[in-house]
Amino acid sequence: MKSILSAVVYMHKLGIVHRDLKPENMLYVDKEPNSNLKLIDFGTARKIIPGKKLTKQIGTAYYIAPEVLAKSYDEKCDVWSCGIILYILLSGYPPFRGQTEKEIIEQVKFGNVSFEGSVDHNIRLGLDRGLKRCSGADKTHAGQKYSQTHHCLRCSQLQVDQ
């Protein structure tokens, strides 16, 4: 996860938002245990214009941020996607489920997190709170979506350099 977050921080520093982060768009350079991770498929990427929101609804259903669905977002949509990837890595399942892409998007829009599998109770609570905070469903943090300085990327467990 550290490699993914480091790549996203680097990309954002360069003024680029990917808009379709998902495991399929990440490759390791080689088969070595400490291989470098590369982000690929920048077909949906755009230049970040400070103060200007993006409006095109684009991305993959499981990883798309609620702000993208609302057609008013910035580079922090990539941070949301990283959170979804982390959730899947920890639980083995996507947090939003449905039989169709439309159903999945509805679950994302309304923040209906689905827990399944053998995830530890404390991990579930943390994941649920984090997703609610990011989606604005947690009204105590609604004005602080993602944090202005990528707070989640500075998690003490991850030690991601900015």
Instruction: Tell me if residue 138 is catalytic.
Output: no
Q: How far apart are CA 57 and CA 2, in angstroms?
A: 27
Radius of gyration, CA atoms only, the chain: 15
Task: Give, in degrees to the nearest 5, the angle at Cα 139 between 137 and 142.
Answer: 85
Give the domain ranges of the chain: 2-154
Which pLDDT tens digit goes with each residue over 127-160?
666 656 655 544 444 444 444 334 444 443 444 4
Set 20, 41, 74, 138: catalytic member: 20
Give the CATH number of domain 2-154: 1.10.510.10
3-state secondary structure labels for all residues of 97-109: CCCCHHHHHHHHH
Strands (E), the chain: 16-17, 26-28, 37-39, 46-47
pLDDT tens track for 50-63: 999 999 999 999 99
14, pLDDT greater than 80: yes
Q: Please report the pLDDT score of residue 1 as a whole number.
A: 83
Cβ distance 48 to 16 under 8 Å? yes
